[in-house]
Structure 1
Amino acid sequence: MKIVKKGFLSLILTFALLLIAACGSTSSADEQVVTLGVVGEDQDVWDFVADKLAKEGITLKLVKFTDYTQPNTALAEHELDLNAFQHQIFLDSYNEDSGTNLVSIADTVIAPLGLYSDKLTSLDELNEQDHIAIPNDVTNGGRALLLLQTAGLITVDPSAGSTPTINDITENPLNLSIDELDAAQTARALPDVAISVINSGMAVDAGFVPTQDAIFLEPVDEQSQPYINIIVANSEDTDHALYKKVVEAYQAEDTKEVIEKTSKGSSIPAW
């Protein structure tokens, strides 16, 4: 009889352990987690979106990068589910260079590029042969050159389209020296140059408020469409239900208010 009881108790214990393991497995499988790659430390807007998603049982994990070279690679290699740091021209260039098929699934904001200086308060103060730092990647570098043209400092060959290079500069009245640097270094280069062209996110991380501190800010008009920032996924995930919830949480009125408040108008909702 004792042997029977032992066997019965052992059977119950085994069943209980299997039940616990099964429950644990189900919980893990049902867990809704989305990893999102971003660039820069200042992510107040995405933190707000993450808090909203948490109330729906969705965990949005932010993976922060310090430059623009890594988030697309991480996404293409499925180390991320989504990323949100770039505009369409940058994405198109990456796909062409890397043979990948990453796609935009939603618009976020447009963040104007700006000219910054810790020496000058006006472009009129520029001298001949002064140095100007610009990002060295094709898309942001081209955008920077077009901004310098808009500011009246240079002229570029219109046949170069949206991605001119320094070789496409046709007029440079002040004989300015254009120094190409990694986008993450343009803010740090300010002590060494007269002006630096800095992406909005990098400028914010450096302590600037673009609408207040830039000595010249990129105009937002009908030409700005290619520079609207986007949420990007792998091509097979364009209709992923969970990712659509992330988009829905971002593209909401309360998120728009947070964008306008935290960026002080430097990022403009674009959906």
Structure 2
Amino acid sequence: MRNAAKITTAVLAAGALTLGLSACGSDKDDASDSSGALVVAASPVPHAEILTFIKENLAEKAGLDLQVKEFTDYVTPNTATEDGSVGANFFQTKPYLDDFNKKKGTHIVPVVDVHLEPLGLYSSKIDKADDLKSGATVAVPNDTVNEGRALQLLAANKIITLKDGVGTTATPADITSNPKNLKFKELEAAQTPRSLADVDAAVINGNYAIEADLKPAEDALVLEAAKGNPNSNLLAVKEGQEKDPRVQKLVKLLTSPEVKKFIEDKYDGAVLPSF
């Protein structure tokens, strides 16, 4: 995994980015002044790449001053949106957002669905899911929604069985049948690709798989289906900012034919347009 060092550095850098936001008063001004730049918090891949494509190719013609601020974690983009350090964020799904608002008391709302990043099971030790041995260790994301998605993926492929109705709140405690007696290692989502050297398999979010030079359509042992999937990644803002003219300009650009073509050409099925 030649990208492990980059991922490790990125995770360590997340704290520094968080501190940087608190010292960046001009960003708060931008976020609250609809005549200034729209600062958007985003995961590096593919979110920031999509936004950078817009910034470099479409934003000026649309009259949008767009600034992209990258984060490697799934918490700071929402807290920064809540406190006004940024004007919007682009990194998460609706189930994750709903769970975050409930737990943190934040007031972040979705604006538009943009794309799906299929969650996949990966391994550097086996070539197919059936090859998982009895007692094998599988790494899964440790946040509520993504862990639930990971377990649902395994259940959909008959690797485990879950209690009826648990949905994306599923945890290992909700497993009712585990024929291979799999053990689960719960990790922060960004660390799951790095864990491949230490576990038998790992369920990895699409964006982190891409950063680790994994190709979901080719490398995943099993992959989430796109049809009927509620886990599209979306643009989100603090409640009350949905009609900000800058946000509405970005909505149009994010769902434009140019962006659809960019996603399809660049990610070759690893990221799927949701519009």
Cα separation, 2, equivalents of 1:147 and 1:66: 23
Same amino acid, percent of matched pairs:
34
1:70-89 equivalent positions in 2, closer than 5 A? 70-89=76-95
Query: 2:112 aligned with 1:106, yes or no?
Result: yes
Query: 2:226 aligned with 1:258, yes or no?
Result: no
Q: Per-residue displacement from partner, 1:222-250 (whole Å, max 9, x unpaired)?
A: 2x12x011100011101111110001011
Equivalent residue number for residue 41 of structure 2: 37
Equivalent residue number for residue 123 of structure 1: 129
Contact 1:32 1:57 in 2 (8 A): no
Q: CA offset at residue 59 of structure 1?
A: 2.0
**1:158 aligns to what SS in structure 2?**
coil
1:19-58 equivalent positions in 2, closer than 5 A? 32-42=36-46, 43-51=48-56, 52-58=58-64
Equivalent residue number for residue 152 of structure 2: 146
Q: Per-residue displacement from partner, 1:72-109 (whole Å, max 9, x unpaired)?
A: 01110111100010010000001001111110011100
Larger-gyration structure (1/2) = 1
Q: CA offset at residue 112 of structure 1?
A: 0.7
Contact 1:154 1:173 in 2 (8 A): yes
Q: Per-residue displacement from partner, 1:44-89 (whole Å, max 9, x unpaired)?
A: 3211111210233422111111111211011101111000100100
Contact 1:39 1:66 in 2 (8 A): yes
1:44 counterpart letter in structure 2? E
1:218-237 equivalent positions in 2, closer than 5 A? 218-222=224-228, 224-225=229-230, 227-237=231-241
Query: 2:195 aligned with 1:189, yes or no?
Result: yes
CA spacing shift, 1:39–1:49, aligned 2, 3 Å:
same
**1:96 aligns to what SS in structure 2?**
helix
**Structure 1 moving runs of 4+ over 3 Å:** 29-32
CA spacing shift, 1:41–1:229, aligned 2, 3 Å:
closer
Q: Per-residue displacement from partner, 1:113-142 (whole Å, max 9, x unpaired)?
A: 001111111112110000000000000000
Cα separation, 1, equivalents of 2:185 and 2:109: 31
Figure out how many residues of one structure are paired with residues of the other and give that number. Answer: 241
Contact 1:44 1:262 in 2 (8 A): no
Query: 2:73 aligned with 1:67, yes or no?
Result: yes
Q: Per-residue displacement from partner, 1:3-25 (whole Å, max 9, x unpaired)?
A: xxxxxxxxxxxxxxxxxxxxxxx
**1:134 aligns to what SS in structure 2?**
strand
Cα separation, 2, equivalents of 1:261 and 1:91: 28
- TM-score when scaled to structure 1? 0.86
Contact 2:114 2:273 in 1 (8 A): yes
Of the three residues 243, 247, 264, the one matched with 1:243 is: 247
How big is the alpha-carbon RMSD for the aligned residues of Structure 1 and Structure 2?
A: 1.4
Equivalent residue number for residue 173 of structure 1: 179
Contact 2:145 2:169 in 1 (8 A): yes
Q: CA offset at residue 221 of structure 1?
A: 2.1
CA spacing shift, 1:30–1:141, aligned 2, 3 Å:
closer
Q: Gaps spanning 5+ residues in structure 2: where?
A: 1-32
